[in-house]
Amino acid sequence: MAETMKLPMKEWVPRLKAITSQDMGEMKLGNALFHQGNFLEAIDAFQAALKVNPDLAGAHFMLGEVYHKQKLFSEAIDHYQQTLRLKPEQPWVFFRLGAVYRALGADAEAIGAFQAALKVNPDLAGAHFMLGEVYHKQKLFSEAIDHYQQTLRLKPEQPWVSFKLGATYRALGANAEAAEAFRAASNLRSQREGESPGRRDSPQGLGAVPDWTTDGGDPTLIELE
């Protein structure tokens, strides 16, 4: 790319257009393969895009996503960090980096990444929830409660979050607050399904744990191109 820019304008403009077309073509192919679950071929496409343009942040991010899916966490971390080197104000990338660190059990690094996401976007509900999870694991219950509450402020109809809040209060011995949170979780579940509330301090019937992987926008991050 740098060598191309040294040419006279009438020569480098067509070359630049060709390079942009080529790397974006590989990106589109890689995205299609990724969504089809063809991860090995997607890796080839994204790597081809980076061969044309090593600073294509979107290709680094999507390689992070592919490696994350494959549980190749070191490789995922490397590409998420490359993305942030090129596009440092992307809360979604910090969130995904934190998710990898959490999967590795690297709690301090996970907390740092989730906090970085919230510094850019304080209303990223998934980052609040994940911080609640990490703090709960570390038995930092007051911090966990704060972030579960922040999650519910942003996503008030999540029975699982209310349940986790109740479990944290119970771990603190705050039984009245725990009962209130469990009751809220049970009521939310019954409102969703039109059923009578079940046992309030049990996760049974609450459905799947919230999927925060769509919280923050399109994971293909078009703005990273």
| Residue 177 within a domain | yes
According to the model, what pLDDT value does residue 191 have? 77
168 close to 152: Cβ distance less than 8 angstroms: no
pLDDT, tens digit (0-9, with 9 covering 90-100), for 48-61:
999 989 999 999 99
Domain count, the chain: 1
Domain range for 167:
157-204
CA angle 94, 76, 116 (to 5 degrees): 10
| Residue 99 within a domain | no
In this prediction, residues 32-51 reach a mean pLDDT of 92
**Least confident piece of the model among 20-29, 70-79, 119-128:** 20-29
73 close to 103: Cβ distance less than 8 angstroms: yes
| Residue 188 within a domain | yes
224 close to 58: Cβ distance less than 8 angstroms: yes
According to the model, what pLDDT value does residue 128 have? 95
| Residue 184 within a domain | yes
53 close to 19: Cβ distance less than 8 angstroms: yes
Look at residue 63 and tell me whether its pLDDT is greater than 50: yes
Rounded Cα gap, residues 6 and 21, in angstroms = 20
Provide the token pair at 192.
Answer: 């969703």
pLDDT, tens digit (0-9, with 9 covering 90-100), for 129-185:
999 999 999 999 999 999 999 999 999 988 999 999 999 999 999 999 999 999 999
| Residue 14 within a domain | no
According to the model, what pLDDT value does residue 19 have? 41
| Residue 116 within a domain | no
| Residue 141 within a domain | no
| Residue 194 within a domain | yes
